[in-house]
Copies of this chain bind each other. A is one copy, B any other.
Amino acid sequence: MQQKSEPNPGRKSPKLKRMGLHERAAARMRTMIIRGELPPGSQTQETRLSKELGVSRTPLREAMKVLAAEGLIELRPNRSPRIAGIAVEGISELFEALAGIERLAAELAAERATGRDLARLRTLQTRMEAHHRNGKLDDYFAINGEIHNTIVRMARNTPLREAHETLISRAERARYLALGADRRWSNSVDEHADILAALEARNGEAAGRLLGAHVARTGTALLEVLAKSQSRQKASQS
C-alpha cells in the first residue's frame, strides 16, 4: 500500500481533492441551499435538477441522502424532496443547540488547547478586529466562523466536531437569509476577546459560559431581523 511519490506537478489543482460526481453534486446543492438559490419549501425534481447540474439521477439521489442527513432537505416517500423550511421556532432551537455544543467545546478546549492553538486563535482575533475596524463584512464573517470552528477543533473530540458541522451548515443558511443583519459587530468582537481570554486562562467554565451566551445572542439577534422580513413575506409554507 505504498503511496507513490506525489509531487503532482502537472495536475490541475493540487488543493482541490478529487471528488465523485455525487460529492460534487452534494456540495453544489449545499451552497445553493445556503445561498437561498433553492428557496425553502420548494420541491426538487430529480430529472430537472440532474439536467441542471449535468449529472445523472443516480449520483443526485445519493447526494440527496447526504443532504437529508444534514437536515437541509426533507425526504418523503415517493415524493419530491423538499428544501427544508426555515421556521422561526426551528432557528431558535438550532442556535440553542449550537450554543450548548460550543459551550461544551469551549470547556474541553480550555483544558486541551496547545500553545499553538491559542496562538492561532489570537492571530485570528487580531485579524478579525482589523476587518472590524475596516468594515470588511465578508472577511469579518469568514474569520468569525473560523474562530468558532477552531475552538471546536481544539476540543479534540471528533463526534462533537461532526455534530457541530451539521448544525453550522444550517445556521449559515439562516444567517444568509438575514444577510448583513448582524449589526452587533462591536459586541461580538468584544465577546470573542473575552472568550479568548478565558481560554488562555484555562478557565473552562467561563469560556463555555461566555461562548454559549455569545452564540445564543447571535441567534436571538438573527431572529429579530428575520422576524421583520418574515412579516412582509408570509409565504413558503406547505
Residue in chain B with minimal CB distance to A93: B157
Q: Is A1 a contact of B159 with CB atoms below 8 Å?
A: no
Number of interface residues of A (CB under 8 A): 46
Complex contact B163–A84 (CB within 8 A): no
Q: Contacting A77 at CB < 8 Å: which of B18, B93, B158?
A: B18
A70 interfacial contact with B, CB 8 Å: yes
Interface members, chain A 103-153 (any B CB < 8 Å): 103-104, 108
Task: State the copy count for this chain.
Answer: 2
Query: Interface on chain A toward B: helix, strand, loop, or mixed SS?
Result: helix
Residue pair B87, A3 in contact (C-beta under 8 Å): yes
Give chain A's interface residues, CB within 8 Å of chain B.
Answer: 1-4, 18-20, 22, 58, 61-62, 65-66, 68-71, 74, 77, 84-87, 89-91, 93-94, 96-98, 100-101, 103-104, 108, 156-160, 162-163, 166-167, 170
Q: Which 8 A-B pairs have the closest CB atoms?
A: A1-B90, A69-B69, A100-B104, A97-B160, A97-B159, A65-B65, A163-B163, A93-B157
